[in-house]
Structure 1
Amino acid sequence: MPCTASTARDFPTRPRPQLSPTDLCLGGGEFTEDIYSLKREVLEFRAAQDPLVPVLEEIVKGQVELCTVAREHFRDVLDHLLRVDAQVDEHNELLTSALSAHLALVSREHSTAAMQQNADMRKMVIAVIIVHRLLRKSGWL
């Protein structure tokens, strides 16, 4: 049986994978690059898909001379294209959210490292002050 627009609806959809916050921590810098790569693909797909919508809308409205059977097929194609457009929007928003969450985690890790460096510097300054005062009292300075 050939796959037409009406039979394509009968196919089950794949379950969408769920990301947990710990998944965002894995991968380090590669994760950020992966997200940017996926966002670039989404934009390329959007650039290829967006010009099709107005053309198909004109065909469906009857502004282009076609037989009625062809117009019905183009209506199905337009419906599928609009559904794909909505899914692309969802994926784009999901990628934006994942990138924001990942950058927040990276920022938090950098803040923690910076606070540790500040504490280490305070300890070194205190040690230098103590050594300086001892050397001064002993007459070496």
Structure 2
Amino acid sequence: MWPCPHRSNDLGSADVPADPVVDCAVYVDGVRDPHPYTYAEALAHVRKTGKGWVWLGLHAPDDAQMTDVAKVFGLHPLAVEDVVHAHQRPKLEFYDHTMFMVMRTVAYVDHDSIAETAEVVTTGEIMMFGEPDYVVTVRHGDHTELHSIREALEQQPKILALGPAVVLHAVADHVVDSYVDVADELDTDIAELEADVFSGSDVHIDPVYLLKREVIEFRRAATPLVGPLKRLVEPNPWLPAEVRNYLRDVSDHLTTVTERINDYDMLLSSMLDAAAAKIGIQQNTDMRKITAWAALIAAPTMIAGIYGMNFDNMPELHWRYGYFIILGLMVTVCFLLWRNFRKHGWL
């Protein structure tokens, strides 16, 4: 049994597995019990007294660690397997009386220029198990901390007194707010990229592909969460009506984010088309220039080739001014070709 300290870090030695327990507490009437329980003791205490509920926070538990937690809380093996292997699609499932929810987190990767980075967003996961007397949060990823959420809720005992459902709302609200922040940052990146694509400067299509790929990754995290949140706002015995009202607001914010993501995707597709068209035009322009210069070189080359065949019956070989006449002819032909190409915009 892993201990359930008041707070633990996420670090461990190379030989000893990191303690997955980040924090654990019993809350009675919204107030944290200061007694340091193991998570098994905490759940036993709550069920024995019939008062309060347990909040257990885990970070990246391995199979053995999660199996031990599952035995204590009676978690379904399929859900436990999802937690251990992670990389799940956002979803909401019920196993008998246990709620299991998966949310994908998204964080913006700071960079000086979209053309100088390989990643714009990074993702993680938060998974939650819930019953009326406990909630277990499991997170994967370095940017998925929930400590600030717990501290904020502990400052509001009236809200915590509503039970584990408030944790579900707080985590969902935190995740969706992070979506909004990422969307705002992407606004700036897309505006800069749009200015580059539609300006007169050279077009670099790689940053457009990169940003479109990152927007798709963002969409994979946010869009599938719409369905689970809509299910949660429907009447159900696990969530108080007040919490459902707050979740409805979170669901509305998520809908706004998904609409923005779709707009980004369409705009980037348009930019890809525009960039490809500009590249095609640029290539055509380059080919015209190459063809024009090739013609300018070919004309004197042809004359010089004929002049240098040295047949006896070529009268210009015996002209006193033949050499200068041929040079003049080459210059004249080249000038006429250059003026014609210049007039039609090839040079």
Shorter-chain TM-score range: 0.7 to 0.9
Taking structure 1 as the reference length, the TM-score comes to: 0.73
CA distance in 2, matches of 1:106, 1:43: 24
* Maintained 8 Å contact 1:25/1:105: no
Structure 1 stretches of 4+ with a deviation exceeding 4 A read 14-23
Instruction: Describe how 1:64-103 pairs up with structure 2 within 5 A.
Output: 65-103=238-276
- Which amino acid letter does the alignment assign opposite residue 95 of structure 1? L
* Maintained 8 Å contact 2:196/2:203: no
Unpaired segments ≥5 residues, structure 1: 9-13
- Which amino acid letter does the alignment assign opposite residue 112 of structure 1? T
String of CA shifts for 1:54-84, please: whole Å, max 9, x gaps. Answer: 1111112225631100111111111110011
Larger radius of gyration: 2
- The alpha carbon displacement at 1:131 in A equals 1.4
Structure whose residues are more often strand by fraction: 2
Residue equivalent to 2:311? 139
CA distance in 2, matches of 1:64, 1:33: 51
Q: In 2 relative to 1, CA 48–20 (structure 1 residues): closer, same or farther, beyond 3 Å?
A: closer
String of CA shifts for 1:5-46, please: whole Å, max 9, x gaps. Answer: 8xx9xxxxx8985855875444643xx222222112211111
- Which amino acid letter does the alignment assign opposite residue 289 of structure 2? Q
Unpaired segments ≥5 residues, structure 2: 1-151, 153-172, 178-183, 313-347
**Which of residues 190, 211, 219 in structure 2 aligns to 1:38?**
211
* Maintained 8 Å contact 1:24/1:98: no
CA distance in 2, matches of 1:45, 1:64: 32
* Maintained 8 Å contact 1:39/1:92: yes
Q: Is 1:109 aligned to residue 109 of structure 2?
A: no
Taking structure 2 as the reference length, the TM-score comes to: 0.33
CA distance in 2, matches of 1:98, 1:106: 12
CA distance in 2, matches of 1:34, 1:66: 44
- Which amino acid letter does the alignment assign opposite residue 107 of structure 1? G
CA distance in 1, matches of 2:202, 2:293: 28
Residue equivalent to 2:295? 122
